Amino acid sequence: MTRFGLIQIDNRHTFSEIVNGFRVSPYMQDHILYFSQMAVFEDAAMILEKTLRVKASDTMGYRMVQTYGQLVSTDIVQPDSVPAFPEAERIYAMADGSMLFTDTGWQEVKAGRVFSQEVWSETGISDKRGHIEQSEYAAHLGIMDGFKEKFSPILDSYKNLENELIWLSDGAPWMEKWISQDYPNATMILDFWHPMDRLAKFAGAVITDKAEKNKWVEQSKSWLQESELGKVIAEIKRISKSGMEEQTEILLNYLENNSWRMDYKQYLSRGLFIGSGAIESTNKTLVQARMKKSGQRWSDTGAQNMLNLRVLNMSNKWDVVLKYVKNHNVSQMRA
């Protein structure tokens, strides 16, 4: 046996990856994969050289991501034998989308996040940012059905919680239809800040005095928290101006159509969070931080393979990747 840094050459290896003429041990493959899903491939290669004193090209990282990202795809759609929060009495589920530049133009990546109430340190209504210690994630580039296939196995683990499975969203119709059909007993909440944002924009368009506008917005916020939507609607009609008929009607329809999931007084009395900032931050940390760098463009397959690895890493399921690294014979990978 010969050693070169942390690279081990041995005829008993089942791998044939080559870096500078040396076979790469599973240990080293783990590091190349991990760095490559955390940083752009060129930076990952530099980190590997700086930290482990081993040279591996950015091409090596790219090819490993494509190979192992595809291999783990079957595991992602399988339900866990033991859910991440087996003792949880209340689970939050959220989903949202962000755009990614691909070979066929801008496409949406749908991301989902699940966590228990016990791991969020701040309340959903607070202006402070909470810290979530552990989450389960799903991500899919493309159509709704592909995302549901990845996210449903996670949600199914908590279906027995019934109304303590809390679905927080921005109100996208496809999500509400899906949850209503597959998880009919779940509590569905419209993220509090989405109607507040619409109300603030409306007030800014009809109230010229800044202090008066801010006062109106704060009063509307208080009414929403008390589930007095009727007062908010009456105020919208009162202050609406000529020429604002269309904008007023759109806002009123939005509030009336979503009123069934805006009982914020009841939600707060149950101790529920009513803000979906956790999924908005997921778009940044899961997708954009690695995949929306300047000049990046992805193939559909390449993007999904990268998403698969990032989902497993952020869900504390990297052992799924290691299972393939240790046992799979991958051939024809060269630096």
Alpha helices in 55-102 (DSSP H): 58-71, 73-76
Could you read off the pLDDT of 230-287 as tens digits, one per residue?
Answer: 999 999 999 999 999 999 999 999 999 999 999 999 999 999 999 988 888 899 999 9
Unique residue bearing structure tokens 């190349």: 32
- Report d(CA 111, CA 141) in Å as an integer: 9
Distance between start and end Cα atoms, the chain: 22
pLDDT, position 53: 84
The answer to whether 32 and 61 are in contact (CB under 8 A) is yes
Nearest one of 186, 76, 188 to 136, comparing CA atoms: 76
Q: Is 74 helix (H, G, I), strand (E, B) or coil?
A: helix
The answer to whether 267 and 123 are in contact (CB under 8 A) is no
Spans of all domains in the chain? 2-78+316-327, 85-183+278-299, 194-261
Least confident of 122-136, 172-186, 309-323: 122-136
What predicted TM-score, i.e. pTM, was given to this entire model?
0.86
Could you read off the pLDDT of 93-120 as tens digits, one per residue?
Answer: 999 999 999 999 999 999 999 999 887 6
Residue 3 has pLDDT above 50, yes or no: no
